[in-house]
Amino acid sequence: MQLLVSAININEAKEAKEGGADILDVKNPKEGSLGANFPWIIKEISDYADNKIIVSTTIGDVPYKPGTVSLAALGSAVSGSNYVKVGLYGTKNYDEALDVMNAVVKTIKDYNKNITVVSCGYADAYKIGSVLPEEIPRVAKDSNSDIAMLDTYIKDGHRLTDHMTTQQLEEFVQKSHDYGLKVALAGSVNKTDVTMLKRINCDIMGVRGCVCTHGDRNNGTINRELVQDLKDNI
């Protein structure tokens, strides 16, 4: 299982890398769960990574606007991302989510077929009216995305496992794997979840808060010792 750590700037990216992260994720928590960061920040982190570590970028908790989202995805790719993550927030069902992801995949693969596209849904979709998590593997498969992912949208202390049972998460992983997709799981997960995530064959564990000082995803900063401790547990 790989460890993805979400950084907001170059200093945090360095801490994540030195701590042993497998994937440097670039996001902006001020703009939401999968809030998009700025092109120059992505480029700075990509230049630092120098193709020696994967750079992933969130492009936002996106609306149901395939054209707008496609342009954001292309901006992420041009800025140096290896992975482009799309938070399917404004898509209310499978059809809308597929429209968005079809447009993103075409845009990204036309630009560079080696860039990985991530279809990301929310475990708490039932609270926000977004496409349900059980639809995400099919959306990812039918759009030719590479990874199916779940996160949580509302960051109020509730975790991935508060919204979905272990059995539901295992079914999500199994369905995605049956479709030939990798799986990333996030949403306030921490080292107490490592055993469960490995048991259900999760491919990528995504974190931020648990490797930040004071466990605070918004006001804390990534600490390499906390990253190393989590990596050691994995």
CATH no. for residue 66?
Answer: 3.20.20.70
Scored b (16 or more CB within 10 A) or e, 146-175 reads bbbbbbbbebeeebbbebbeeeebbbbbeb
Instruction: Round to whole Å and give the CA distance between 160 and 158.
Output: 7
Q: Say which residue the tokens 């639809």 belong to.
A: 135
Cβ–Cβ < 8 Å for 45, 26: yes
Break the chain down into helix, strand, coil percent, rounded to 5.
Answer: 45, 20, 35
Residue 71 tokens, joined = 């342009």
Q: Rounded to two decimals, what is the model's pTM? A: 0.97
pLDDT average, residue stretch 76-103: 98
Q: Indicate the burial class of 53 (C-beta count within 10 angstroms; 0-12, 13-18, 19 or more).
A: middle
Residue 217 pLDDT more than 90? no
For the chain, the domain total comes to 1
Cβ–Cβ < 8 Å for 23, 53: yes
Cβ–Cβ < 8 Å for 223, 184: no
The reported pLDDT for the residue numbered 219 is 85
CB atoms within 10 A of CB 31: 13
pLDDT average, residue stretch 11-25: 98
Active site residue 43: no
Active site residue 27: yes
pLDDT average, residue stretch 30-36: 96
Domain of 93, in residue numbers: 2-233
Q: Say which residue the tokens 């991935």 belong to.
A: 160
Of 17, 85, 175, 231, which one is the catalytic site residue? 85
Tell me which residue of 210, 212, 165 sits closest to 189, measured CA to CA.
210
The reported pLDDT for the residue numbered 216 is 85
Of 27, 141, 175, 231, which one is the catalytic site residue? 27
Average pLDDT, the chain: 97
